[in-house]
Amino acid sequence: MPRGGKKGYKGRGKQFSNPEEIDRQMRKQREREENGDVERDSASESEEESSSSEDEQNQKKSGVAALIEIENPNRVSQKSKKVAELDVSAPRELSRREREEIEKQKAKERYMKLHLEGKTEQARADLARLAIIKKQREEAAKKRDELRKEKEAQEAKSKR
């Protein structure tokens, strides 16, 4: 039976790269990197910023973007900051999720505090339920005591 079952094999045969071709491509890549590094070392910081914006413009644009210049207000360009420029002591703004999480925790703590003091509706309902259960248990204990006393009295009468 042919490869791929009854319908046959529709894929192409595998093509392997020639090792000499791979070596030649690697050499070209290294040469490009070395030449790029030399140019970067000689360039100043201001030239680096302008070259990065030129790189963005030089990137191949497809579709309508090649014809029309579009300014996207939502697009934020990535600018690297130096370690010396970073202000570690400045307070960091919390994200919306972080703020909501903190508010949620604080609300939960306030509720638990009120609940323990017995000021919430749920706490009042729980206390009322507990009071009813205590009364029922006391009544059941009294009945057991009475039954036990009656049983003892009957046993005493039967032994006599």
Q: pLDDT, tens digit, for every residue of 95-144? A: 999 999 999 999 999 999 998 898 889 899 999 999 999 999 999 999 99
**Has residue 111 been placed in a domain?**
yes
In a domain, 151, yes or no: yes
Dist CA 141 CA 136 (whole Å): 9
Domain count for the chain, please give it.
Answer: 1
Residue 92, both tokens: 């960091």
The whole-angstrom separation of Cα 124 and Cα 117 is: 10
Q: Where are the beta strands (DSSP E) in 11-78?
A: none
Please, what's the largest Cα pairwise distance for the chain?
120
pLDDT digits (tens, 9 = 90+) for 84-94: 777 777 777 88
Confidence of residue 17 (pLDDT cuts 50, 70, 90): confident
d(CA 160, CA 153): 11
Task: Specify if 123 maps to a domain.
Answer: yes
Residue 149 domain boundaries: 97-159
- What is the pLDDT at residue 134? 97
- Mean pLDDT over residues 3-30, rounded? 78
Residue 1 lies in a domain: no
The predicted-structure confidence for 38-83, as pLDDT tens digits, reads as follows 444 444 444 444 555 555 555 666 666 667 776 777 777 777 777 7
The answer as to whether 138 is a domain residue is yes
Q: Judge whether 79 lies within some domain.
A: no
55: in domain: no
| pLDDT in the model for residue 5 | 65
Angle formed by the axes of helices 96-117 and 121-159, to 10°? 40
Whether the predicted pLDDT of 26 surpasses 80: yes
Instruction: Give me the long-range contacts of 21-25 (CB less than 8 A, separation at least 24).
Output: none
The answer to the question of residue 146 being in a domain is: yes
User: Quick check: 152 pLDDT over 80?
Assistant: yes
Q: Which residue has the higher pLDDT, 104 or 34?
A: 104
- Report pTM: 0.34
What letter represents residue 89's amino acid? S
Q: What is the structure's pLDDT at 94?
A: 85
